[in-house]
Amino acid sequence: MNAATASLPGGTWTLGNATITRFGYGAMQLAGPGVMGPPADHDGALAVLRAAVAAGITHVDTSGAYGPRVTNELIREALHPYPESLFIATKVGANRDAQGGWPTARRPEDLRKQVHENLRSLGAETLDLVNMRMGDAEGPKPGSLAEAFATLVELQREGLIRHLGVSNVTTEQVAEARGIARIVCVQNMYNLAHRHDDDLIDRLAAAGIAYVPFFPLGGFTPLQSDALWRVAARLGATPMSVALAWLLQRSPNILLIPGTSSTAHLRENIVGAGLSLSGEDVADLESIGRRTPR
């Protein structure tokens, strides 16, 4: 571990055979409006990726659907040849249409095509982690993931994927995936206001499986946002800092992937996530949301 990595909030987590920083970087915001097309500032996007790695971040999250392929191509341009320490996670299971929608694509031939497109656009021979994305833009949906997930298992056996995970899934789908093959992470929406996965996070921690929340400030009601702002003001911090710090302190298996297209904002997120929350702070924050099992 280098000095930069050691200074990141949250330390590290062992994901399969890789040790990565719990504070990572999500590349989604590097694409254009609506996660479609190129960024307005191409050089700025490259600078953010390079700054993330220079800060010690070793976990970058992307998807071939972002752009599509835009964020993968930016990652390749900015960081290839990749440092041995860099761990790039991607996901499959959705395409993009001309209107910017996210139509599902989970037939075996769709998934094979997406994996090979990720390999090409990232310039990689093997993908570090592929998450099987289920559900839709509104969230997880019930149903079996067996056929789709089995296709990724086949691709893993062929040497094209190192680790497997699942995204936008129900607890039943997590259990189904674990019955088919080893998974190293679950990537779902979770934050102070939406704590439906509280019990799942605890079970995954006990099993040594990472949980990667997305939308750390997504879906707050105005009343909940006011409460978060009050806690943040008391601590002299931003709401994003408080939300990220709470996630890191919530459980050791939580990995963060906040995204930004600004190097200044990247630095703010790193500093903010290291905010120390007292027991009183945590109690006040957790009163914002309720445990609502999915």
Give me the sign of the Cα torsion angle 173, 177, 179, 184.
negative
66 belongs to the catalytic site: yes
Q: How many domains does the chain have?
A: 1
Question: What CATH number is attached to the domain comprising 136?
Answer: 3.20.20.100
In a domain, 192, yes or no: yes
As a whole number of angstroms, the distance between CA 263 and CA 1 comes to: 23
Please report the pLDDT score of residue 113 as a whole number: 98
Record the tokens describing residue 294, joined without a space: 């999915």
In a domain, 40, yes or no: yes
Catalytic one of 66, 82, 190, 211: 66
Please tell me whether residue 290 adopts helix, strand or coil conformation: coil
Please report the pLDDT score of residue 6 as a whole number: 64
As a whole number of angstroms, the distance between CA 19 and CA 58 comes to: 9
User: In sequence order, what are the residues at sequence separation of 6 or more whose Cβ sits closer than 8 angstroms to the Cβ of residue 125?
Assistant: 119
CB atoms within 10 A of CB 150: 16
In a domain, 100, yes or no: yes
In a domain, 273, yes or no: yes
In a domain, 52, yes or no: yes
As a whole number of angstroms, the distance between CA 85 and CA 63 comes to: 20
As a whole number of angstroms, the distance between CA 197 and CA 212 comes to: 11
pTM over 0.75: yes
In a domain, 62, yes or no: yes
In a domain, 293, yes or no: no
Pairing type for strands 59-61 and 25-26 reads parallel
Pairing type for strands 127-133 and 87-92 reads parallel
As a whole number of angstroms, the distance between CA 275 and CA 166 comes to: 29
In a domain, 148, yes or no: yes
Record the tokens describing residue 163, joined without a space: 């680790």
Q: Which domain range does residue 256 map to?
A: 3-286
Phi, psi of 89 (to 5 degrees): -100, 140
Please report the pLDDT score of residue 294 as a whole number: 46
Contact 174, 200 (CB under 8 A): yes
Q: What is the chain's Cα-based Rg?
A: 18
Pairing type for strands 12-15 and 210-214 reads unpaired
Contact 130, 115 (CB under 8 A): yes
Please report the pLDDT score of residue 291 as a whole number: 46
Return per-residue pLDDT of the chain as tens, 294 residues: 566 666 899 999 999 999 999 999 999 999 999 999 999 999 999 999 999 999 999 999 999 999 999 999 999 999 999 999 999 999 999 999 999 999 999 999 999 999 999 999 999 999 999 999 999 989 999 999 999 999 999 999 999 999 999 999 999 999 999 999 999 999 999 999 999 999 999 999 999 999 999 999 888 889 899 989 999 999 999 999 999 999 999 999 999 999 999 999 999 999 999 999 999 999 999 988 754 444
